[in-house]
Amino acid sequence: MARIKTISVTLCAVILTTFTFIATPLAVASEHARPAAVHKSSTAASAKVKKKSAPAKKTASKSTKSSTADKKKRTTVKKRTTTSSSTPVTARQRTASRTLSRTASVSASAACRKNRSAKQRAACLQTSAKGVTIADAHKIRVQKAQKTAMSKLMQQIGKPYRWGGNSPRTGFDCSGLVWYAYKDLVKFRIPRTANEMYHLRDASPVDRGALETGDLVFFRTQGRGTADHVGVYMGNGKFIQSPSSGQGIQVTSLSEDYWKRHYVGARRVMTSSTIR
C-alpha cells in the first residue's frame, strides 16, 4: 500500500510538471501574439477611417468647385442684367433705327442720282455705302472741286495780263482767269465779266469773315458798275488775281490798304448743288 501511494504521488508530480512545462510556452506565445493582433486591428481600423475620409475630401472638393461655378454664373447673370438694364432696347427703337437707315439709304441714292455721269453716281453710291453721311459726301465733293480749281489757278502764276484773254497760251484778264478755272467744274454758265459774276444768281453772297477757298472776291477800282475786278480767295487772307496790264498773275493779300479800300464783296460759286 505504501508503494502504491508513493507511485501515485510520483505520477501526480510528473503530470503536474509536464502540464506546467507545456502551459508556460503557450502562455508566452499568447502574450506575444496579443500585440500583433492589436496592431492588426488598429491598422484595419485606421484603413477604414482613411477610406471613409477620402470620399469626404472628394465631396468637399466637388462642393468647392460647384460653389465657384455658381459664383461665376451669378456674376455673369449680374453683368447681363446690368447691361440689359442700362441700355434697354425696345421693339419700337429697333423699328425706328431700321426706318432711319432705310430713309438714309433712299435719300443717299436720290442725292447720288443728281450727278450727271455714271462714274460720279457710282462714286457717290460707294461713298454712302461705306457709312459716310450725305453731308460728308457733299463736303468731300466740294473739297475735291476746290482743289482742282486751285491747281488750275496756281499753274497760271506768272502768266501775262491780257485784256479779254482766257487761255494759258495768250494770257488772262481778271474775269478770264476765273472763267478758265471754273468753266468745267460748275453746272451753270460762268459769265465773262466781273460785274456779271458779282450779280450771278447761282452765286450766294459771303461775308468777309466767312470766306472759304474758291470764293470769288470783288473790287471796284475804277468806279465803273458795282464791281470791275475779281479774284479767287485761296485761304489765309490771300487771293489770286490777274491785276492789270504790265503785271503777271500773282497772289495778293486782302489786308493790303489798296484792296481793303476797293473791296465790295464776295460770292460763293462752289457748293454741293452747283458743282458737277
Catalytic residue annotation = 174, 229, 241
CB 215 within 8 A of CB 266: yes
State the pairing for strand pair 263-268/216-219: antiparallel
CB 172 within 8 A of CB 162: yes
Map residue 113 onto helix, strand or coil.
Answer: coil
Q: How far is CA 190 from CA 16, 43, 200, in A?
A: 154, 114, 9
Which DSSP helix (H) or strand (E) runs through 253?
Answer: strand 250-253
User: How far apart are the C-alpha atoms of 175 and 179, rounded to whole Å?
Assistant: 6
Q: Please give the single-letter amino acid code of residue 203.
A: A
Query: Phi and psi of 159, rounded to 5°?
Result: -65, 150
CB 181 within 8 A of CB 233: no
For 219, the grid coordinates are 473790287
C-alpha angle 84/89/95, rounded to 5°? 160
User: How far apart are the C-alpha atoms of 144 and 232, rounded to whole Å?
Assistant: 16
Phi-psi region of 5 (alpha: psi -120 to 50; beta: other; left: phi over 0): alpha
Q: Taking the CA of residue 163 as centre, how many other CA atoms within 13 Å lie in the half-sphere pointing to its CB?
A: 4
Q: What is the rounded radius of gyration, in angstroms, for the C-alpha atoms of the chain?
A: 55
